[in-house]
A and B are shown apart, each in its own frame.
Chain A
């Protein structure tokens, strides 16, 4: 069975999915990532899905599970590089992948991880223009 490599860059684990995401591959990735987070003590996970043409409901759920698992292990997960066609399909299917943080590309994803988590929410709160 094919495996998705998990690369460690500084405090971040980078996962670039370049193969068809079959259910077994997704489950294996989930297991590998949990192991690696514990082994390396990294605080950030970036999953690059820019090579994926199809994200089905199972893969979507697995991504959400991975995000939850990493959160338990004190690591923030960002899914990056989703293709427009994939995003449109997910929206049409009504899957909005709740609980998953996303970024346009790996660079922006790393930038996002440099910020303390939950920062996005703080922005909306201290925006004076929101309350006229």
Chain B
């Protein structure tokens, strides 16, 4: 029972022993470790770079153990945690898998075991200590996994944001006419961005007409229609008229089948039709408006 408890956690005595071991056999350890990692990464990282990384990690482990860190949460292991996080993040960005990164850390165990073997084999006590150390390294490996996932998630959310920026441009089509070519699925978040940007552009440019082109929207359901309707009503409140264009035959059938009512909002099949419609309106307005535009 006692042995079992000790096997999973490092005591302060074992910690100092391993710190000594890491310090004594630094060169041999780093070399074996680097060789092992190099085998798993199959030459995707230069030997010098890899050697630098393992040497750094070795230093991290050593200073953590010398500081008396019995677990990875200890204060003395702070530097090691930061090192592991950095390594994992950079590996994630370079496209390595989580397994490859974790294996790079686990390789330390093999390297240490080899050193132990070379120094007169492992008796029961050494083996128990080694198991504790092994658990410590396991935790370190898991930490890289966490950092890996976090780095990837950051990457994904960054990309999602960029996508949002990319896919909602508001373009000026004519004097007093702006257009929003919608591309991709319209969910609540995007609909909100589109609405805000369109309304702001209306104010900035003083355009009384807006064309919402839905050619690039793969499917229109009641929710998407609701979002579009809201945008149109908001634009109307501000004094601008909206025309919906780019309704494909398939979409038209869906709209009718779902019983979506666009009311008195003008709908056109193509952007060109919509622009012609607007120009006719403005032309008429100018003509009826009087002598301002001959």
Contacts and interface: CB of A to CB of B under 8 A. Distances in A.
Contacts of B121: none
B200 A119 contact: no
A74 B135 CA distance: 87
Contacts of A65: none
A87 B289 contact: no
Most buried by B among A84, A96, A102: A84
B206 interface: yes
B237 A97 contact: yes
Contacts of A105: 206
A42 to B, nearest CB: 19
Categorize the interface residue count of chain B. 20 to 34
Given A87-B238, A88-B196, A107 B289 contact: no
B196 A84 contact: yes
Interface stretch (B1-9, B80-88, B136-144, B273-281): B273-281
Nearest to B281: A123
A2 interface: no
Given A111-B289, A114-B290, A129-B276, A84 B238 contact: yes
A103 B290 contact: no
Contact of B288 (A86, A92, A119): A119
A127 B277 contact: yes
A107 B290 CA distance: 15
B233 interface: yes
B289 A115 contact: yes
6 contacts: A82-B237, A84-B234, A87-B199, A103-B239, A111-B285, A114-B289
